[in-house]
Chain A
Amino acid sequence: MSRTINVALVGNPNAGKTSVFNLLTGMNQKVGNFPGVTMDKVSGLYSYNNSPINVLDLPGTYSIYPRSMDERVVFDFLSDENAHDFPDTIIAVADASNLERNLLLFSEIKDLGQPTILVLTMLDIANKQGLNIDISALEKEFNTTVITVNGRNGEGLEDLKKAILDTKHPEHVPFYDVNDLSPEIIPIIKDKFELRNDYIAYQYAQQTYSKSFLSIDEKQFIADAKVKYNFCDRQFQTTETVERYKIIRKKLQEVVIRSQEGVVKNRTSKLDKILTHKIYGYLIFMAVLLLMFQTIFEWANPFMDWIDMGFAELSGLANDLLPPGVLTDLLAEGIIPGLGGVVIFIPQIALLFCFIAILEESGYMARVVFLTDKIMRKFGLNGKSIVPLISGVACAIPAIMATRNIESWKDRIITIFVTPFMSCSARLPVYAILISLVIPEKHVLGIFNLQGLTLMFLYLLGFFGAIFSALIMQKILKVKERSYFIMELPVYRWPKWRNVWITIFSKSRTFVFEAGKIILAISIILWVLASYGPGDKFDQATTTVQAEQPSLAVDSQAFENAVSAYKLENSYAGILGKSIEPAIAPLGYDWKIGIALITSFAAREVFVGTIATIYSVGADEESETTIKEKLRAEINPHTGDPMYTFALGMSLMVFYAFAMQCMSTLAVVYRETKSYKWPLLQLFYMSGLAYLSALVVYQVLK
C-alpha cells in the first residue's frame, strides 16, 4: 500500500459538505480532537486504487476569518504545515445555487497554496432556480479542477475520487494578491516562520491571537511588526473582501447564465409564509416540539425496557455462572448495572438526534432560530440557544456541545450555564417513580391525567429555571462584547436519510464513550462505598442481624434483605448518608434518601437503583412495582405515618429538577469553557437553588 493521502473538506454551512463527506467515507468515520482545542475532529478513511485516503471534515464557515470556536479550527489546521495530517489536497464544497458567496471561501482557501478541488453540489436546485453553470468556463476562470457531485444519489463521486488521486494541478497563481495591502510585513513573517505562502503569512498577521500553535514570544513578534508597518486588520480585511467579491462577480459573468425565476425559491417562499407566520409559525413549532417529546418518551420506552431487562439478565447470569467472590460482585452489581445505566439512554439520544438531524437537514431549524431570537434575546440568550435548550431535554452533554456555533462568548456561556436546567432524560426515571407514588392517578377537567400534568409541570419548572437563571446571568456578566445575528436561511429540502443515519450513529457512539467512561467509573466507586464499611459492624452483619431479629429464619429472603439493609446502613455510603442527615432533615429527607442523594450526585438516574437497594429489594425481583410497594410501605419513624408523603415527594422532585447532579455534564462544561470556574459555579448555584426550593416546597406542603 502506498502512503496515506490526506484530504480536508471545507465549505459554507449548508453547502452539502457533510453529504460529500458521508458519500466518500460511509460509516467509516471516527471522532478525534484537534490539538490544543476541544473541537471534535471528524475524519474518515476510504481506499481507492489501493491508496488509503484520510478525509477530514472541517467545520462549515463563510470565510477564513473565524467568528466562532468552530471556525477558528479551519485556518489553524490549514496553515500548520508540520501537522502529520496536513492536507495534500483541499476540497472546497460549494453550493451551485449560491455560487458567488460560496466562492469567497474557495478563493481564500485556494490562496493558501495547496492543491484545491472545487466540488459543486446542488446543481439540480441551481437548474430549477434558472441558473445554468458552464463548468469548463468555471474551471478556466478560477484556475481549478471542478467536479459536480449530487449529494442525494452520489452521482459524480467516482470523478471526485479520481481527481483526489490526480497529482496534476494547475500552477498556483494567487487569486487576490495580499502584497497589495501590506508588502513589508509578509516577507518578515515568511522569513521568521519559514513559510512558503504569502497568504498564510498575511493571515498570521490577521489572526495572530487566535492561533493556538504560536508561542507568546512569536505572537509578540508579529504584533510588533504590525505596529511598525502600520498593519490595520479590519481595514485590510474589508478591502480584501470587497476586492475578492469584485473579481468573483466579474468572472462569474462568464460562467453563470440566468434564465427565468425558478421553482425552488417559490416553494421556499410559500413554506416560509406559513412556517414563520405570526400565529401558525409558533403553533407549528409547538406541534413539532410536542411530537418530538412524545416520540422521545413513548417510542423509546419499549427499547429502554428491553435494555433494562437485558442488563438485569446479564447481571443474574454473571452471578450464576461465575464463582462467587468480590470480582463477581463488582461485575454483577457494579460494572454491568453501571454500563446498563449508560446504554439505556441510547434509544432516547438516538431519537433526539434523529429529530434534530431532520430539522437541520430540512432547513426548518434555521426558521426556529429566526422565530425565537427576539424572545431569547430578552433573557440574555440568542436564537441559536434554542437548539441546545431543546436538546437538553434528552441529555445536557450533546446539548452543551451544540453551543459551539454561537459566535458570542457571552451568549454561549449563558447557554452552557442554563442548559442543565432543562429536564433531561435521566430525571425521567426519578420523576416517574415519585409521581406514581405521591400523585393520585385521576383525571382533572375530564381529559387531563393528573400524573401527566405533574410531569409537564416539572418540565416547565426546568425550562423556567433555565430562563430565569439566564436573566440573572445577563445582569451579572458585564461583558462588552458585540453580539450579532446574521444567519443564512437555507432553502427547504428533503432530508438526506444517509446523513440522518450517520448523525444518529456517530452521536450515539460519542455519548456512549464520553459519558460512559465517567458513569462507569462512578458506579464502581459507588459499589465499593456501598459494599464496604469501616470496622467490625459491617463484617459481622449476619451475626448482628441474627441476634437482633432471631425470629427470621436464616437463608430466608427476609433475612437476606435484613442483612443487606444492615450492611448498607453501616457501609461507607450509609455513614455518609447519616452524616448529611441533619442538613437534609428540613427538606423532609432521612439518611436513606441521603444515600440516594449522594450516589445520584454522579448521575441522577442512580437514585432509583439506590433506593431499590436501600429499601432492600432483592436484586432479582427488581421490578418497579416492588420498589413502589416497598416505598409505599416505608414508615416515617418519627410520625408513624407513611414516609413518602405528598410533601416529601414534591420536595424531592423539585430538588431533582434543579440540582446539578451529573458528573458528565460538569466534565463537558469544563471541557467546553476550559476553566474550573464555570462548572463549579454551576454546581453551587444549581445545588443551592435546589436545596432552597425543596426546603420551601416541603415546609409549605408539610
Chain B
Amino acid sequence: MERSAADLVPGQKGMVKDFTDEYISLKLMEMGVLPGTEIVMKFAAPLGDPICVDVSGYALSLRVEEAKTIILS
C-alpha cells in the first residue's frame, strides 16, 4: 500500500509523487501541491478532519479523504 498524505502524523514530512484523483489534483496543483513538492503535516482539526499541512510556504487545509488522493514517495 502506498503512503498518502493522510498517513502523515503531525510534524512528519513527505514528498508528493502522484495523485489518484484528477479532478481534485487540478485544484491541489493550483494551490501549489505539485509532484516533487514537500508537504509537512501540521495539525488536524479537533475531530480528526480536516487536516492542515504546510506546503510551499503557507498553511493549507484539506479533508482527510482529499489527502488520501495525494500519493507520497
Residues on A facing B (Cβ under 8 Å): 62-63, 65, 67, 97-98, 100-101, 104, 129, 234, 237-238, 241-242, 245, 268-269, 272-273, 276-279, 281-282, 366, 370-371, 373-375, 383, 482, 484-491
Contact = CB atoms under 8 A, between A and B. Distances in A.
A98 B57 contact: yes
Which of A129, A245, A268, A366 has most B Cβ within 10 Å? Answer: A245
A276 B56 contact: no
Contact of A238 (B29, B47, B48, B52): B29
B50 A374 contact: yes
Contacts of A245: 29, 32, 34
A245 B34 CA distance: 8
A237 B66 CA distance: 19
A269 B59 CA distance: 10
Given A245-B29, A370-B45, A484 B66 contact: yes
B63 A485 contact: yes
B26 A373 contact: no
Given A98-B57, A100-B56, A373-B45, A485 B50 contact: yes
The 10 closest A-B pairs by CB, nearest first: A489-B59, A278-B46, A63-B30, A374-B47, A101-B32, A241-B29, A486-B62, A485-B63, A374-B49, A98-B58
B14 interface: no
Nearest to A278: B46
A489 B29 contact: no
Nearest to A489: B59
Given A98-B57, A234-B26, A487-B60, 11 more contacts: A65-B26, A65-B30, A97-B57, A101-B56, A101-B57, A484-B62, A484-B63, A486-B61, A488-B60, A488-B61, A491-B58
A242 B47 CA distance: 33
Which of B25, B27, B35 has most A Cβ within 10 Å? Answer: B27
B50 A373 contact: yes
Contacts of B63: 373, 484-485
A277 B46 contact: yes
A282 B30 contact: no
A104 B29 CA distance: 10
A482 B21 CA distance: 11
B59 to A, nearest CB: 4
B56 to A, nearest CB: 5
Interface of B: 22-32, 34-35, 42-43, 45-50, 52, 56-63, 66
Nearest to B54: A265
Given A65-B26, A67-B27, A486 B48 contact: no
Contacts of A383: 50
A67 B32 CA distance: 16
A370 B48 contact: no
Contact of A62 (B30, B48, B49, B59): B30
Contact of B26 (A100, A241, A273): A241
A309 B17 CA distance: 67
Given A65-B30, A245-B34, A485 B66 contact: yes
Contact of B52 (A65, A98, A489): A489
Nearest to A95: B58
B66 A486 contact: yes
A370 B60 CA distance: 10
Contact of A242 (B34, B43, B62): B34
Which of A485, A486, A488 has most B Cβ within 10 Å? Answer: A486
B49 A486 contact: no
24 contacts: A65-B26, A98-B57, A238-B25, A242-B29, A242-B35, A245-B34, A272-B59, A276-B43, A276-B46, A278-B46, A281-B46, A366-B61, A370-B45, A370-B50, A371-B46, A373-B63, A484-B66, A485-B50, A485-B61, A485-B63, A487-B62, A488-B60, A490-B59, A491-B59
B50 to A, nearest CB: 5
Contacts of B66: 484-486
